[in-house]
Copies of this chain bind each other. A is one copy, B any other.
Amino acid sequence: MDVSISDISTLSLPEGAEITVKGWVRTRRDSKSGVSFINLSDGSCFNSLQIVIPKEIFNYQSEILKITTGCSIVVNGCIVKSKGREQNFELRAEEVNVVGWVKDPDTYPMSSKRHSIEYLREHAHLRPRTNIIGSVTRVRNCIAQAIHRYFSEQGFMWVSTPIITASDCEGAGEMFRVSTLDLNNIPHDSNGNVDFKEDFFGKETFLTVSGQLNTETYACALSKVYTFGPTFRAENSNTSRHLAEFWMVEPEVAFSDLEQSAQLAESLLKYICKAVLLERKDDMNFFVQHVDSSAISRLENLIDMDFITVDYTQAVDILVDSGRKFDFPVYWGVDLSSEHERYLTEEHFNAPVIVINYPKEIKAFYMKVNDDGKTVAAMDVLAPGIGEIIGGSQREHRIDVLDERIIEMGMNPDDYGWYRELRTYGTVPHAGFGLGLERMVAYVTGVSNVRDVIPFPRTPRNASF
Chain B residues with CB under 8 A of A232: 163-164
B223 contacts A99, C-beta separation under 8 Å: no
Q: Which of B141, B158, B176, B458 contacts A158 (CB 8 A)?
A: B141
What residue in chain B is nearest A179 (Cβ atoms)? B177
Most B Cβ at <10 Å: residue of A125, A203, A421, A458:
A125
A230 contacts B163, C-beta separation under 8 Å: yes
B418 contacts A463, C-beta separation under 8 Å: no
Q: Is A413 an interface residue (CB 8 A)?
A: no
Closest chain-B Cβ to A209's Cβ sits at a distance in Å of 13
User: With A and B bound together, what is the CA distance between A125 and B199 in angstroms?
Assistant: 24
Chain B residues with CB under 8 A of A101: 426
User: With A and B bound together, what is the CA distance between A229 and B144 in angstroms?
Assistant: 13
A425 contacts B184, C-beta separation under 8 Å: no
Q: Is A422 an interface residue (CB 8 A)?
A: yes
- For A, the interface residue count at a CB cutoff of 8 angstroms equals 105
A137-B159, A138-B157, A222-B43 known; A178 vs B164 contact (CB < 8 Å): no
Q: Is A201 an interface residue (CB 8 A)?
A: yes
A179 contacts B180, C-beta separation under 8 Å: no
B221 contacts A24, C-beta separation under 8 Å: yes
Contacting residues of chain A (258-292) with chain B, CB-CB under 8 angstroms:
none
What residue in chain B is nearest A147 (Cβ atoms)? B148
Closest chain-B Cβ to A186's Cβ sits at a distance in Å of 6
A217 contacts B126, C-beta separation under 8 Å: yes
B161 contacts A455, C-beta separation under 8 Å: yes
A100 contacts B428, C-beta separation under 8 Å: yes
Q: Is A245 an interface residue (CB 8 A)?
A: yes
A162 contacts B465, C-beta separation under 8 Å: yes
B126 contacts A421, C-beta separation under 8 Å: yes
B128 contacts A418, C-beta separation under 8 Å: no
Chain B residues with CB under 8 A of A6: 155
What residue in chain B is nearest A7 (Cβ atoms)? B155
Q: Scan A122-148; emit 1 where CB is below 8 A from any B CB, else 0.
A: 001110110000100110110011001
21 A–B pairs (Cβ distance < 8 Å), ordered by A: A22-B255, A42-B222, A43-B157, A43-B223, A70-B426, A99-B426, A100-B397, A100-B427, A102-B424, A124-B217, A137-B222, A162-B455, A162-B458, A163-B230, A164-B176, A164-B232, A178-B178, A178-B207, A183-B194, A200-B236, A201-B244
Closest chain-B Cβ to A279's Cβ sits at a distance in Å of 10
Q: Is A59 an interface residue (CB 8 A)?
A: no
Chain B residues with CB under 8 A of A71: 426
A456 contacts B162, C-beta separation under 8 Å: yes
What residue in chain B is nearest A108 (Cβ atoms)? B425
B426 contacts A100, C-beta separation under 8 Å: yes
A205-B463, A218-B455, A223-B22 known; A176 vs B183 contact (CB < 8 Å): no
Closest chain-B Cβ to A271's Cβ sits at a distance in Å of 16
Closest chain-B Cβ to A288's Cβ sits at a distance in Å of 21
Chain B residues with CB under 8 A of A103: 424-425
A152-B145, A158-B145, A177-B180 known; A164 vs B458 contact (CB < 8 Å): yes
